Structures are given as C-alpha cells and as structure tokens.
Amino acid sequence: MITSFHVFVPALMGSGASFRTGIKVREMGCKKVLVVYDKGLKAAGIADPIVENLHSAGIETVCFDGVLPDPPDTVVEDAVMMAKEAGIDGIVAVGGGSAIDSAKAINVLINNPPPIMKYFGVQKNLKPGVPMVFIPTTSGTGSEVTNMCVISCTSLNKKDSVVSPVCVGKLAILDPELTLGLPPKMTAATGVDALAHAVESMTGNQANPLSDALARDAIRTIKEWLPVAYRDGSNIEAREKMLLASMFAGMAFTNGLVHLGHSIGHTIGAQFHIPHGIACALVLPEVIEYTAKTEWKKVLMICECLGAKVSPYATPEEIGEAARTALRALMKSIDIPNMKDLGIPADALAKIAPLITADTGFALVPYRITTAKVADMLQHAYDA
C-alpha cells in the first residue's frame, strides 16, 4: 500500500526548554502574542514564568486565561475578538489539549469569519493565521504536533474537529518540568489518551510505516513509564518519557488517524461529561480486539509492545483477546475506572451505541461494525 508521511511541527525538547520560548518567538518575527492558558495553570505557577520569559525577549503579550475543558466555541470566539482588537501577530498556548486546541481554533478565526462550526471537517482552503507555539503541560493529547483541533459546539451539544494547515503550530516546546505537578489521576487519564492514539492509529486503514514506528515506540514507553509517572509524579525521567510518548502518539495519529475508540470516547465523554482520556480508554481493549479480525498483524505488534505472550500459531481472534487482556491490565495498573465505576447506568449502553455509529469518526473504522455489535462491546467493557 502507498502512504504519505507527515511530520508537521518541529519540536524543542528537554528539561528547561520552556525558557527558550521568548527567543524562539522573537526568531519567528512576532512582536505581540496572545498567550492562551487556563486559570489553573496560572495558579500552579506555570503561566507567569513563560509570560515573563516572553517579556524579557521584548515580546508584548495579551493573556487569555479563559480556557475551559472541552473548549466551547463561544469561549474561542470571545478570545478571537480580544486577539483581533489587540492586533496580535502570534499565539503561545500553554497547557493541555484544551489550551492548545483553543489556540488553534482562535487561529482559524483570525482571518476567517466566525462561527468556528462553519469550519468543522477537513478544510483545505482556509486563510492562514499567525505563527503558533505550543507548550504542553500534560502528556496525552499530542495536540502540539497535530493538524486538528476539537471544539465543543454549544448550540448542538456535540464535539467536532477542524482539520487544517491553519491548526499546525510553528514549534512545539516540550519541557517535562512543566508536567511534574500533574496529579496522579490526571497523569493516568492523559496517559491513556496517548495510548489510545497509538493503538488506534496502528489499526486504522491509514496507518503507514512511520506512524507504526512512532506508535510502537509510544506503546512501549507508556507500558513502562506511565505506571511509574502515575505512582511517582516527581520522577522526571518518567515525565520526560511520557511527554515524548505523547508527542510520538500525536504524530502517529496525525498520519494513521484514530477510529472506533475515539468515536466511543467522544460520545460517552459528551453524554456523561467524562474526561477525554478516560472516555477513550473505557472500551479501547475491546476495540483493539475487534480490529484483530483484519488487522491482526498490527495487533500482534501491539501485543509485543505490551509484552503480552502470543503463540506463533494464534488465530486473529486469539491475538485480539491477548491484546484486550494486556491493555486492560495496563489500565488497571493505573486505576482507570470502568463505566460501572463512573456511575454510567447499564441501561444507557443500548442508547449510546447508535450515537457512536453516527459519530463523524466512525467513517474510519477498519471494517464495518453494526450498532448491535458496538453495544455488545460496551456491554463487555461495562464492568471489566
């Protein structure tokens, strides 16, 4: 099969790398940037040093600290007004996926009229925005290296994504020290998001050798270091490894795309207001088991990365089962809750299944699966 490889965003990585933000932004020719983050980040003492760093490089800043989880379109549209009034010529986003995706959506609207929902889907002809620098403070979304953002449409009560070159950053700065303070629950929840990116990108129909290589490395790293980072958040090696795995998985799914696990995650996340990473992890083991029917070679690689023993004579079904077991064991080791733990009523599953098969991302499933079978998967994962 012929595939094309895309690595969109150059990265600067290492402890203390965020101190180069000012220099890098100045090199890009920016004079006044919008700094996007949330109030929690300011309280944690992460935002201010970066703002000061920008100032010390002679860059003026306009701060937007109104980022919310599952970034709502209304918030993004407000921020754009602010950015336009201030006449900014660059954007620096500091934070998790919500901050980075908000920044991307703001950039889309800098030179394209609102609302953002007009641009959901793959957009090839948007007017370019301004240079963006992304500084992730969680290890999960990989958004710093992707060409898309996920935004919540408040009027339709659903999430959708804008895929466009306007969402591509000019630089990602990966500084593991910024992730040291992430609480264990958040470490686990964001870490499994990266895991989902890696295993789904490998088993989709758009996977390529580069995305497979990145995904395999991400899976191995997550298997080894996520439990460490979860138990000991101050372990800088674990933090650095996880930040790298998250970026690799982000690069992998930019190429290979994600499929059913994310359709399930988006749907359950929206219905029950569950954090993205957790929502994507709930049925992930069953999803990978299902892909083994046609993508068994890839699932075998996943098993190897997870250290799961598989007989050389194993059938695709057995390979799928081994992957499911190994993925679930990894999740259990970092206390990822199941649907029952989260208080999702068992009788809701049948109602959720049709929403999953109606999700935009469902187009990317490796082979067709009925709503009834999706419901079976949910059932299986419910209290697993």
Partner 1 sequence: MWSKLIVDMNTLSVSREPLDEDFRELGGKGLIAQYMIKNVPPQCDPLGEQNQLIFCLGIFAGTSFTTAHRLSVGGKSPLTGGIKESNVGGYAGTLLAEQGIKMIILRGLPEKEGPSLLHIDSSGKAELLDAAEYKGMGNYDLREKLAGRFGEKVATITIGSAGEMGYRSASIHVSEFGAGHPSRAAARGGLGAVMGSKGLKAIVVEKPTERFKVEYADEGKFRETCTLVNKVIAQGAQNDPFHNIGTISTIEVTGANGILPVDNFSGKLFPAYQEVGANKFLTNLATRGGKNKLACQPGCVVQCSNCYNDANGEYLTSGFEYETIALFGPNCHISDLDSIARMDRFCDDIGVDTIEAANAIAVAMEAGKLPWGDVDTTLALLSEMKEATEFGRILGDGCEAVGKHLGCKRIPVVKHQAMAGYEPRNTKGTGITYATSPMGADHTAGLTMGRAFDDAGRAAQAYASNKLQVAMCIADSMMCIFAFAHVVPVMPKLGEMMDAMYGGNYGFPRLAAMGVKTLLTERGYNKMAGMTDADDRLPEFFYKERSVATGSVFDINDYELEVLFDF
The alpha carbon of 312 is separated from its chain's Cα centroid by a whole number of angstroms, namely 34
Q: How far is the CB of 203 from partner 1 (least distance, A)?
A: 12
In the complex with partner 1, the residue whose CB is nearer, 271 or 294, is: 294
Contact 130, 90 (CB under 8 A): yes
Name the residue among 359, 350, 355 with its Cα closest to residue 378. Answer: 350
In the complex with partner 1, the residue whose CB is nearer, 87 or 121, is: 121
Q: How far is the CB of 117 from partner 1 (least distance, A)?
A: 14
**Residue 293 neighbours by CB distance under 10 Å:** 16
Q: Provide CB contacts within 8 A for 335, sequence distance 6+.
A: 188, 230
**Residue 233 neighbours by CB distance under 10 Å:** 18
Q: How far is the CB of 366 from partner 1 (least distance, A)?
A: 8
Name the residue among 140, 133, 107 with its Cα closest to residue 250. Answer: 140
Interface contacts to partner 1, rule CB under 8 A: 1-3, 122, 204-206, 257, 293-294, 362-370
Cα 95 from Cα 52, distance rounded (Å): 16
Q: How far is the CB of 147 from partner 1 (least distance, A)?
A: 13
Q: In a 3-state reduction of DSSP, which class is residue 61?
A: strand
* Local structure of residue 66 (DSSP, 8 states): B
Count of positions (residues) in the chain: 384
In the complex with partner 1, the residue whose CB is nearer, 134 or 296, is: 296
In the complex with partner 1, the residue whose CB is nearer, 167 or 178, is: 167
Q: How far is the CB of 59 from partner 1 (least distance, A)?
A: 38
In the complex with partner 1, the residue whose CB is nearer, 84 or 293, is: 293
In the complex with partner 1, the residue whose CB is nearer, 305 or 369, is: 369
Q: How far is the CB of 206 from partner 1 (least distance, A)?
A: 4
